Amino acid sequence: MPEPIIEPVIGPTGDLAHPLLVARSAQYERRIHEVTPSVFCAVGYGMANTTLVLGPKGAVIIDSGECREELTEVLEAFGDRLDRPIVGVVYTHSHYLWGTAAIEDYPTRDIEIWGHEDIERTIAHVGGEIGPAYTRRMRLQFGYHLPADGPDSMSNVGLSSFFFRPGPKTVGFVAPTHTIPRVGRTTTSMAGLEWVFESHASDSEDTIVISLPELEIVINNHVWPVLFNIYPLRGERYRDPMVLLDGLQMIRECDPEHLVGAHGVPIDGRAQCQQAVADYADSIQYLWDQTVRGINAGADPDELAATIEFPPRLATSPWLQPLYGEVPFHVRQIHNGLFGWFGTDTSTLHPVSPDRRAALTVEAMGGRDAVLDLIQKAIDGNEQTWAAELCSHLLRVNPDDPQAKTAKAACLRYLAQRTTAANTRAHYLSEALFLEGHCDPLGETPQIPAVGISMRAGGVRSLHALRVQLDPVASADTDLMFAIHFTDTEEHAWLHVVGGVARFGIGTAPQSVLALEITVLEWARLRARRVAIVGANMVLTSGNLTGLADFFALFDHGPR
């Protein structure tokens, strides 16, 4: 069925985009929103909000943003509102806690820092094995490769004006001094106010819901200004939508007068807050229920994604617009979370390879010239998605086919300008620019972990992550134990490379041909190739530098 013809409009950065997406930009302009005379929410300074709560005994900051520079800017924007010492920081989850160290520049006492007990473990996961792929896909999702202005730029990224803050960025994460357990309610007094914390997973498993009963306020990461992203295109651990309902139920029971989110402008008024929560809960349950209903009826993921739509009541809700992700993505994710990738068609169990399928498809359609004719016919008939798919077949057969590249880039740009979802738009445009030779997302993504990434993961986790870089061919005949002692943390771990597999262990190795003593920082520098093996500040207690170099050569992008 042809895509509906929706003409794009010009956005604030000169972008050509769907009218709904462009209109959302106004909501994310930099502004300090006064929720109450003692609560202020900074919107538009980063991907997420930072909230200031003033109590009789001090101030508390909720979420500290992407970096020290962002929080510094926000604290300055609060201005005279911040008229007392900061005595506490609360993290709603692990995505926006990188600016806390900037508070050192303000008059403070001993600061309490509250966060979920799994925050540091969650951070380490992202900085570990999946780091390179996660970085590459995140850059695609948020338009890292797109120009700052012009038709291909991003007026907003669905949840905020931007994701990648321009200019210098200094990591300023400070670990929690007080943790909230996975189960149960935590009540405390901070800044002279009562605080209630509960762990309820959202887009991160380490998310908490914050209630301030005296102020009739709930601060949360569950009600977004757009449809919740059960599946982000960058990829993520399975976000069970039914778990999200627990957090929404807590918010509903608190019956707040004000609902402040990690994203978007605050919601005021008890009835408005309840309506937002109800719509959000209904949307999550609807997607899960209807996906399961379809699975029980024998539908496969493609059929589910093509047929499940919101009823009018939810489709028109101001809190559920698909400006970030889209319903078909979430339906597929629910299917995969429950049943995995296989649907109902057994021909997909052992399919021909993508390259072979493309070659057979092009041959069946009459060859390259015939497929090019079909592509033009599809474009003329407003079937750009089908045209792009046909181009993909030609590019599988010949990645350098100039006409297929040009046609696919044009189709993707057409689709990008007409989708409501910022994530989708960024992916379409990034591939279009790649096909036109303006960027190379794979080549521009570092395969070597940066020092900060390895430090965030920790020495043991960083060694553990090295496993996924092992070259199975180069190590096919290897039997070698490598042991490491991180002298600053007194941790011991080892890798035993045996016939193409790197076995990992914590503790003292049972035996070792190579044994290394090193600090976590120097190990991070070594992995990042900031220092060479011969110049690293380390001690080999067993083996020699040549043997160490030969060992690292077994790994992709290993130290050298």
| pLDDT one-digit tens code per residue, 80-129 | 999 999 999 999 999 999 999 999 876 666 899 999 999 988 887 766 67
What are the strands of the beta sheet with 185-190, ordered from one edge? 185-190, 193-199, 208-212, 217-220, 258-261, 267-268
Domain final position from 444, 470, 505: 444
365 domain residue, yes or no: yes
Distance from C-alpha of 245 to C-alpha of 261, rounded to nearest angstrom: 16
341 domain residue, yes or no: no
Give the relative orientation of helices 327-339 and 270-296 as an angle to the nearest 10 degrees. 60
pLDDT digits (tens, 9 = 90+) for 486-508: 999 999 999 999 999 999 999 99
pLDDT digits (tens, 9 = 90+) for 507-559: 999 877 899 999 999 999 998 889 999 999 999 999 999 999 999 999 998 88
- Name the strand (E) or helix (H) holding 518: strand 514-518
CB burial of residue 369 (10 Å; 0-12, 13-18, 19+): exposed
Check residue 209 and give its pLDDT.
98
Same domain, 250 and 374: no
Same domain, 320 and 396: no
- How much is the pTM? 0.91
Check residue 1 and give its pLDDT.
41
pLDDT digits (tens, 9 = 90+) for 393-429: 999 999 999 999 999 999 999 999 999 999 999 999 9
Check residue 445 and give its pLDDT.
61
297 domain residue, yes or no: yes
Domain final position from 391, 410, 444: 444
The answer for residues whose C-beta is within 8 angstroms of residue 345's C-beta and 6 or more apart is: 300
Alpha-helix runs per DSSP H in 219-260:
241-254
Check residue 2 and give its pLDDT.
44
Q: Give the sign of the dihedral formed by CA 71, CA 77, CA 79, CA 81.
A: negative
* CATH number of 415's domain: 1.25.40.880
The answer for residues whose C-beta is within 8 angstroms of residue 442's C-beta and 6 or more apart is: 136
Same domain, 283 and 218: yes
| 448 DSSP assignment | S
Backbone conformation region of residue 559, classed left if phi is above 0, alpha if psi is from -120 to 50, else beta: beta
* CATH number of 474's domain: 3.30.1050.10
Q: Give the sign of the dihedral formed by CA 483, CA 487, CA 490, CA 491.
A: negative
For residue 507, what are its two tokens? 């503790």
345 domain residue, yes or no: no
Distance from C-alpha of 216 to C-alpha of 232, rounded to nearest angstrom: 32
486 domain residue, yes or no: yes
List the domain range (segments joined by +) for residue 400.
Answer: 354-444
Question: In angstroms, what is the C-alpha Rg of the chain?
Answer: 26
The count of structural domains within the chain is: 3
Distance from C-alpha of 24 to C-alpha of 226, rounded to nearest angstrom: 10
